[in-house]
Amino acid sequence: MTATGASAPLGIAVVGTGRMGCDHLGRIGRSVGGARVVAVADPDGDRVKEVAGGLPGVSAHTDPAAAVAAPGVQAVLIASPGPAHEEAILHALRRGLPVLCEKPLTPDPEGALRVMEAEQRLGRRLVQVGFMRRYDAEYARLKELLDAGGIGRPLFLHCRHRNASSPSFFTSDMLISDSVVHEVDAARWLLGQEVTAVTVLSPRPSSAAPEGLADPRLVLLETSGGAVVDVEIFVNCGFGYQVRCEAVGETGTARIGDGHAMVVESGGRWGGEIDQDYTVRFADAYDRQLRSWVAAAARGRVAGPDAWDGYAAAAVSQAGLTAARSGARTPVHLADRPPLYA
């Protein structure tokens, strides 16, 4: 508590100063109250010094363990590349610190299981995964409708996930592990069901796709409740960023993501704008996610998608990668769900 009786801002260490790390850095303080960044980490020493130099009182580190252990750190936000997540998470858990980790929790389900084992030894959930669509207003309305039985038992989810272009480092595997993973979590959350099998179909690649990139793809997910989810992933569509989802139930349908923004009619034409970036389309969701996490972390806990959700998504992604290579329907094998995540 401060001298005035107000709670002191939550001290956060941000691990990773790439695009998402810097996006979170900008939101903390600008859009999210009750928190401040006290340490940043990145293996690129010049970059992390440059980032920290623009933030008063923030220490710069090339080792995530040093950032996590820095004075004043009470919570950890991880936005480094996926292969580095597990190490940083375990450093935080050893110190009993709440974590917000960008997806994927880990690149493989085995790493996610190790994270869950560490949490279980502590006896409390401290890890939240950055599946920000759960905080999007449209997704939340669709979830409420489905939970209330507003369109009857869900039969299908039709999902579309399109990017204007893919970064130079993007691979065919990343279409599933880094992009479709969002639909995997959204489907599990919306339906309240686990994914039991994955099939991946690949048409002839788009002429706009870089050499060797299998883009687009159609991913079919089967669920434990008998629903089917189809995901069109197209990361070089050329015209913008679109995320859409239509739920088809026994008594009706519901669709989100149509982008009902301003429509201009002029010169014999009508139209609007298409978002070009996910940080624009989901700006409000990222803000809501951070506010929720900060509020929970200040009480020493987390309240959003947990390590089990990260593990389940990793298991589905692994099955999806196998399905993409084999061309065959691939079952998803999940470990028994520990009581901590019930």
Q: Please, what is the average pLDDT of the chain? A: 94
pLDDT tens-digit map of 248-295 = 999 999 999 987 667 778 788 888 888 888 888 999 999 999 999 999
pLDDT band at 6 (very low <50, low <70, confident <90, very high): low
Instruction: Classify 63 as helix, strand or coil.
Output: coil
Mean pLDDT of 166-191: 96
Partners of residue 37 on adjacent β-strands? 12
Q: Which of 3-12, 223-232, 264-273 has the highest mean pLDDT?
A: 223-232
Among residues 20, 187, 177, which one has the least CA distance to residue 108?
Answer: 177
Which of 72-76, 111-115, 256-260 shows the lowest mean pLDDT across its residues? 256-260
Domain ranges of the chain: 10-132+285-305, 140-280
Shared fold status for 10-132+285-305 and 140-280: no
Better-scored residue on pLDDT, 269 or 3? 269
Q: What is the mean pLDDT of residues 139-155?
A: 97
In the structure, what pLDDT confidence band is assigned to residue 4 with cuts at 50, 70 and 90?
A: very low
Look up residue 242 and give its amino acid. Q
**Of 275, 181, 277, whose CA–CA distance to 229 is shortest?**
181
The C-alpha angle 306, 194, 137, rounded to 5 degrees, equals: 60
Its pTM stands at: 0.93
Confidence of residue 330 (pLDDT cuts 50, 70, 90): very high
**39: its two tokens:** 């340490």
CATH architecture entry for 140-280: 2-Layer Sandwich (3.30)
Q: Which residues contact 45 (CB under 8 A, 6 or more apart)?
A: 60, 62
How high is the pLDDT of residue 63? 97
| Residue-level pLDDT at 261 | 67
Average pLDDT over residues 40-69: 96
CATH homologous superfamily, domain 10-132+285-305: NAD(P)-binding Rossmann-like Domain (3.40.50.720)
For residue 190, the model assigns a pLDDT of: 98
Average the pLDDT over each of 71-75, 225-229, 258-262, 275-279 and give the range with the smallest value: 258-262
**What three-state secondary structure class fits 298?**
coil
The C-alpha atoms of residue 296 and residue 288 are separated, in whole angstroms, by 12
